[in-house]
Amino acid sequence: MDKRLKRILPKVQKPARYTGGEYNQIIKDKADVDLRMAFCFPDTYEIGMSNIGMRILYGVINKMPDVWCERVFAPWGDMREEMVQAGIPLYALESGDPVSDFDVVAFSIGYEMAYTTVLDMLHLSGIPLKSADRPDLVPLVFAGGTSCVNPEPMADFLDLMVIGEGEEVDCEVLELFRRAKLEGWSKREFLVKAAQIQGVYVPSLYEHSYNADGTLASVTALEGAPERVKKRIIEDMDSVYFPTAPIVPSTEIVHDRVNVELFRGCIRGCRFCQAGYVYRPVRAKSPEIVARQGIELLKNTGYQEATLLSLSSSDYRHLSEACDLMLDWCEPRACSLSLPSLRADNFSMDIMQRLQKVRKGGLTFAPEAGSQRLRDAINKNVKEEDLLHSCKVAFQGGWNGVKLYFMLGLPTETDEDVVGISEIANEVLHTWRENAVNKNRGVRITVSTSMFIPKPHSPFQWEAQVPMEEYMRKVELLRDSIKARNVTYNWHDAKTSFIEAVLSRGDRKIGALIEEVWRTGGYLEAWGDYFDYNRWAYAFETCGIDPAFYANRERGKDELLPWDVIDVGVAKRHLWHERERAYASTLSPDCRKQCTGCGAASLLKGGVCDA
Amino acid sequence: MLKLRMRFEKTGRAVYISHLDLMHTFHRVFLRAGYPLKHSEGFNPHPILSIALPLSVGHGSVCEIMDVTLVQDTVDTAQMAVDLNAVLPEGIRVQAPYIPETKASAIKWLRVMGRYEYDGKQAVELIAPLRAFYTCSELPVSRKTKRGEGIIDIAPYVKDVTINADGEDVRLAATVSVNEPTINPELLVKVLQQNDPELAPDFAEFTRLEIFTEKMEVFR
Ligand code: SF4
């Protein structure tokens, strides 16, 4: 280990996250590979190591014999400062080698607030931030992850972006890059060829022009790049690679357990939910595969808890079967299963009791809106009776805490809808009073609200976000209406949601803003410890960017949207149709009940969804 | 049920794993190697696993002691070490377990090695003054205790000090008390900083070499 590093590690918090050396890390001989890839996660080790996408891709890429993929995370502030002072560049955990030694630097960007961290990690590696300032073929700097469904805010910095699920396309890109490197292609040559791979977006091959009002006028694809980039999906979830011998961190991470994926996509179609649209269509694993992978994971890691992971796990058709198969193995070994997301409507006490034998902490539900009318408008098909029934069963079963999540500022929302939230909380309290098995233990009902953020590729992509003052007015209104002592109310800060709204629907001009915020110290901004609104406010001024143009402006039906170049499979016309149904407070059926022809089925070979 | 003791080393990158994280890591290691630990009875059952003399983060050791209770009644001890070593993180290695005949509280002395780094000084020139320093009859050092700041003379609890050059660095070895009182090897640097700062290294790295009983027999 580097002597300078040895000196600083004892001084920083949780140094084990900066050393590598964990069980099951993948070590190769660098002399034996053609490409070295630094897989960068623009957040801390604890967050990144809890990310299932990163785990999958680390495994998939390292299966390529000619490539060695290593992990890089963002250092916490204390470590960052020590590294800068000691002149230690950002390094990869497996080998300890500086990122600047690598051929490929790839980022997984799951959320917009990580953008400044991406820039900082490039900077700490000594790599020029802008694609245009890196004329050579090596290093290739690319990214994937949910945020890339609107690639424009980060377009200046990345050589290419991968849209959709990475298992296949990442390897195709790396294989092409390996050839390019061996054959000595120019960067441009490589990028032009890479743009022909389905799912690859090369920002420099698209020219943007703007109207006088600042909206996008046209996007011109150059050198044969596709007009629209179609996302990639994995069709057969049973045969796709899944890591069952993953790295076991030697220090605590956020999700200290194993994750088994049940299915991708979501049948629901909640209109505010970007994930529900961009991951379509639903593709499930068979219960036997789920159980086999889950058991192998537990065996190979020594963890005693497995999470059955999906966007809406209780919608998994074979949930009981998969649980039974796993529990036969788990129970004698004191292992437990957990579900991250429960829906109040098909909540099954039976499953819950089987899953959480010992721990009876809190339950979480997300009704999202305070009235049936508004829940219909956002297509969140949860009825108050269902929620109360679920709570009743839970209280009878000994649970004594419920967390309820809501959004404020949803399209069509009235003050009545806002106050409705406190009425739901009261009903839940009433249900507890009538059904609690042990009233002496008391009950904790927590209501949390966040500010609605309109997201690309959702039916609400055209909406204006409510101004921050309006959100705060709604917060006050709700706070005043919550009277019960056992109900706690937390609300999410409006400022981060406002910035997120600017970034998520940003165009290419936003790149300068992100760079300016980074330049003035922006870093790890998904953390309250580091987020500073003033930095953004200052950068809006300096860059001459009006944030309201991005956050608070309603887009026209025919406006060319910066992310229209990305085809996630769902037709824009379908999204508009869903938006109109929202304004009529009309529910749409879920994919299992009836296909509404969103277009995503065309991503499948057979052209039909098996929802 | 089987009570076992084993020696293990914690070196290289593993020295930054904290005591608590190490306990969790070992718990998982025993499970994935197929040697489940017995759990304590009671409201909040936890695996029965204890590690004597928690190491400070950043310190290495080739003489750690861990006591565990296995669920099973018999075990092939040599095979068990092989199985555990196959699934341990880099830098942690165990030796074959054995049935303990003593209590871990009988550990009294620790042989420790320190590597002192000096910036812009010649190590060889420091050897003589360092030797002289550590053989002083009094080595007072102020340290934080539970009861606040206190001065302790560590001279009676530090013995057999050797000092040699180690490339550009200085290598020290010493035997320190680890039980009433507990002398953290870092006090060997602190005592320099407080009494003769010219001799204090810019960085020091410690590794435990061996543990002994009161009578200076190797602890088993
Ligand atoms: S094509 Fe139909 S079933 Fe498939 S995702 Fe779209 S709406 Fe759902």
Domain ranges in chain B?
2-100, 107-213
Within 10 Å of residue B56's Cβ, how many Cβ atoms?
A: 13
- How confident is the model over A114-138, as pLDDT tens digits? 999 999 999 999 999 999 999 999 9
Q: Please give the sequence-ordered ranges of beta strands (E in DSSP) within B41-166, or none if there are none.
A: 49-51, 60-70, 92-94, 109-117, 140-145, 148-153, 158-166
% of chain B residues with pLDDT over 90: 89
Q: Is B205 on the interface with A (CB under 8 A)?
A: yes
d(CA B89, CA B10): 10
Tell which one of A596, A602, A603 to mutate to probe ligand 1, the residue whose CB is within 8 A of the most ligand atoms.
A596
- How confident is the model over A536-566, as pLDDT tens digits? 999 999 999 999 999 999 999 999 999 999 9
**CB < 8 Å to B27, chain A:** 302
Q: Is B87 on the interface with A (CB under 8 A)?
A: yes
- Asked whether A276 and A600 are in contact (CB, 8 A), the reply is no
Q: Is the CB of A595 under 6 A from ligand 1?
A: yes
CATH 3.30.750.210 residue ranges for chain A: 235-359+568-611
pTM confidence score: 0.95
Confidence at residue A273, expressed as pLDDT on a 0 to 100 scale: 96
- How confident is the model over A476-521, as pLDDT tens digits? 999 999 998 899 999 999 999 999 999 999 999 999 999 999 999 9
d(CA A138, CA A608): 41
The topology (CATH level 3) of B2-100 is: Alpha-Beta Plaits (3.30.70)
d(CA B110, CA B54): 13
Supply φ then ψ for residue A379, to 5 degrees: 65, 30
Q: Is B166 on the interface with A (CB under 8 A)?
A: no
Confidence at residue B62, expressed as pLDDT on a 0 to 100 scale: 98
Q: Is B25 on the interface with A (CB under 8 A)?
A: yes
Question: What's the Cα-to-Cα distance from A100 to each of A141, B84, B107, rounded to whole Å?
Answer: 11, 36, 48
Confidence at residue A358, expressed as pLDDT on a 0 to 100 scale: 42
Q: Is the CB of A234 under 6 A from ligand 1?
A: no
CB contact under 8 A, B89 and A22: yes
Q: Is the CB of A280 under 6 A from ligand 1?
A: yes
Of the candidates A127, A208, A192, A204, the residue with the CA atom closest to the CA atom of residue A506: A208
CB contact under 8 A, B12 and A7: no
d(CA B186, CA A272): 57
**CB < 8 Å to A93, chain B:** none
The topology (CATH level 3) of B107-213 is: Alpha-Beta Plaits (3.30.70)
Q: Which residues pair with A207 in a beta bridge?
A: A220
Within 10 Å of residue A182's Cβ, how many Cβ atoms?
A: 11
Residues of A with a Cβ under 8 Å from any B Cβ are 1, 3, 6-7, 9-10, 14-16, 18-23, 25, 248, 250-252, 299-304, 333-334
CB contact under 8 A, A9 and B205: no
**CB < 8 Å to A303, chain B:** 28
- Give me the sign of the Cα torsion angle B94, B100, B101, B107: positive
Whose Cα sits closest to atom 5 in ligand 1? Answer: A281
Supply φ then ψ for residue A160, to 5 degrees: -155, 165
Nearest residue, CB atoms, A21 vs list B12, B31, B58: B12
d(CA B6, CA B53): 14
* Domain A3-230 CATH (choose: 1.10.540.10, 3.40.50.280, 3.30.230.10, 3.40.50.300): 3.40.50.280
**CB < 8 Å to B25, chain A:** 248, 250
Stretches where chain A sits below pLDDT 70 are: 341-362
CB contact under 8 A, B14 and A21: yes
Whose Cα sits closest to atom 1 in ligand 1? Answer: A601
CA-based Rg of chain A, rounded to a whole angstrom?
24
Q: Yes or no: is domain A235-359+568-611 CATH 3.30.750.210?
A: yes
Stretches where chain B sits below pLDDT 50 are: none
Q: What is the DSSP letter of A357?
A: S
Q: How many inter-chain contacts (A to B, CB under 8 Å) are there?
A: 69
* Closest CA in chain A for residue B30: A302
d(CA B73, CA A537): 67
Nearest residue, CB atoms, A16 vs list B17, B29, B205: B17
d(CA A17, CA A320): 37
Q: Is B129 on the interface with A (CB under 8 A)?
A: no
